[in-house]
Amino acid sequence: MLSIGPLQLQSRVLLAPIAGHTDLAFRLLCRELGGVGCAYTDLLNSRAVLAGTSKSMVLAATAPGDEPFGMQLYGAPHDPLPEAACWAIDHGAAVVDINMGCPVDKVAKKNGGSLLLRDCPSTLELVDRIVAAVDRHSGGRIPVTAKVRLGWDEDSIVAPALARDLEAAGIALVTVHGRTTVQRFKGCANWDAIGEVVAAVRRIPVIGNGDVVGPDDAVRLIRHSGCAGVMIARAAIRAPWLFRQADAAIRLAGLGDASSDVNDRHRWEAARAEPTLHEKILTIRRHIDLCANHLDVRGAAELMRQRISWYGKSMGHVKSLKESIRTAADLESMQAAVDEWIEWAASDPEASTTPMASRGAGPRRDLDPSVS
């Protein structure tokens, strides 16, 4: 199975850091649904965590059930990243990840994120200091990982050489998003280029990232590039059950822990299946509950109002469900609105048994209880 330094993971599928999304409630939700090898926090500013700002404390929060989790930090070579990495260890991180790919101005203009790809010698010097501090602080127990893009632009692809140097500097795993910084999210992720990074390192695992939107994409990316696992971001926001499906697809393809997977074929086939509409609505309900338990209540209601349109993308025509969540005054009325849908879906033979995928674009219009 996939290991990050001394840390053994149960799955080759990782939940990406996604600013604005990978809060504790969402990480717990994905884990409960299954298949998450490791989950990362949103990117955290090294100075902000050391100053204990309330926003970064919320983003760094963890709880039982959120294991193993990686804290992702960003900063420039002159920022206190080694100190912030030690702080992360003291606050439960099983992995410390350094962001070397964020293209957003707020981060890159401060010479962090993707800007680290433009001056590799300074970046490596920074990495030396972080790895030394983490080793000292944790007695070699906690691995440091890096998440990179291919390079700043097409004319400055640095990922293969940088990954090799990061390995030499003691980085335990490199995740590569197969786009350049200037590409942002345009075009397709370059899986060939991810393969070049895999070929460049000697021993450490490389995680492929970019455009895994269904379980079979995970298998294809591993086969195409030789990467040790995949990281999923955007598709997870609309389908948090995708980790379980992708993990199962990987095992069914013989790319997991082969000895036990063969005997468990039925189990993995069930895990690989698309959830029914009923199961998807139950997931939304659970997400609301986790937000209520782990986030500030008013913020949680606002968050779910925004999130529901993402879920809608994997559920077809559920306009009135989305509307009732968007217009709910608070979490309690949101929960009550979703409960009505759960009751309806449990009693509707099609919604409770038919996998969404087999319906094509989504549930038929007449499955919407608001349409009579």
So which residues are the catalytic ones?
Answer: 102
Q: Which of residues 66-105 bind ligand FMN (CB under 6 A)?
A: 72, 99, 101-102
Name the residue among 257, 287, 244, 275 with its Cα closest to residue 34: 244
Q: Is 14 in the site for ligand FMN (CB under 6 A)?
A: no
Which of the stretches 17-25, 83-91, 133-141, 196-204 binds ligand FMN when contact is defined by CB under 6 A? 17-25
When binding is defined by CB under 6 A, the residue of 2, 7, 18, 219 that contacts ligand FMN is: 18
Residue 244, strand partner residues: none
DSSP 208: E
Site string for ligand FMN, 40-59 (x = CB under 6 A): --xx----------------
In the bound complex, what is the minimum distance in angstroms from residue 139's beta carbon to ligand FMN?
Answer: 27
Q: Which residues contact 327 (CB under 8 A, 6 or more apart)?
A: none
Q: Is 38 in the site for ligand FMN (CB under 6 A)?
A: no
Tell me whether residue 195 or residue 363 sits nearer to ligand FMN (CB atom): 195
Q: Which of residues 152-211 bind ligand FMN (CB under 6 A)?
A: 177, 209-211
Given a contact cutoff of 8 angstroms between Cβ atoms, the answer to whether 73 and 49 are in contact is yes
And the tokens for 11? 């799955």
Tell me whether residue 97 or residue 274 sits nearer to ligand FMN (CB atom): 97
Please tell me the total number of residues recorded for the chain in this structure.
Answer: 372
Tell me whether residue 16 or residue 281 sits nearer to ligand FMN (CB atom): 16
Tell me whether residue 72 or residue 276 sits nearer to ligand FMN (CB atom): 72
Residue 322, strand partner residues: none
How far from each other are the two terminal CA atoms of the chain, in whole angstroms?
51
Residue 73, strand partner residues: 44, 98
**Number of chain residues interacting with ligand FMN (CB under 6 A):** 21
Which of the stretches 5-13, 16-24, 78-86, 327-335 binds ligand FMN when contact is defined by CB under 6 A? 16-24
In the bound complex, what is the minimum distance in angstroms from residue 71's beta carbon to ligand FMN?
Answer: 11
The span from the CA of 193 to the CA of 118, in Å, is 18
In the bound complex, what is the minimum distance in angstroms from residue 159's beta carbon to ligand FMN?
Answer: 13
Pair type for strands 3-4 and 7-8: antiparallel
DSSP 363: S
User: Cα 200 to chain center, whole Å?
Assistant: 24
Site string for ligand FMN, 202-221 (x = CB under 6 A): -------xxxx---------
Q: Is 233 in the site for ligand FMN (CB under 6 A)?
A: yes
In the bound complex, what is the minimum distance in angstroms from residue 11's beta carbon to ligand FMN?
Answer: 16
Given a contact cutoff of 8 angstroms between Cβ atoms, the answer to whether 74 and 284 are in contact is no
The span from the CA of 277 to the CA of 254, in Å, is 29
Tell me whether residue 18 or residue 96 sits nearer to ligand FMN (CB atom): 18
Write out the H or E segment, with its range, that includes residue 280.
helix 277-294
Q: Which residues contact 307 (CB under 8 A, 6 or more apart)?
A: 237, 287
Tell me whether residue 22 or residue 276 sits nearer to ligand FMN (CB atom): 22
Q: Is 234 in the site for ligand FMN (CB under 6 A)?
A: yes
Cα–Cα distance list, 341 to 182, 310, 337 (Å): 43, 18, 7
In the bound complex, what is the minimum distance in angstroms from residue 339's beta carbon to ligand FMN?
Answer: 30
In the bound complex, what is the minimum distance in angstroms from residue 235's beta carbon to ligand FMN?
Answer: 6
Q: Is 253 in the site for ligand FMN (CB under 6 A)?
A: no
Residue 175, strand partner residues: 147, 207
In the bound complex, what is the minimum distance in angstroms from residue 103's beta carbon to ligand FMN?
Answer: 9
Tell me whether residue 26 or residue 344 sits nearer to ligand FMN (CB atom): 26
If DSSP codes are grouped into helix, strand and coil, which group holds residue 238? helix
Given a contact cutoff of 8 angstroms between Cβ atoms, the answer to whether 272 and 215 are in contact is yes
Interface ranges with ligand FMN (CB under 6 A): 16-20, 42-43, 72, 99, 101-102, 147, 177, 209-212, 232-235
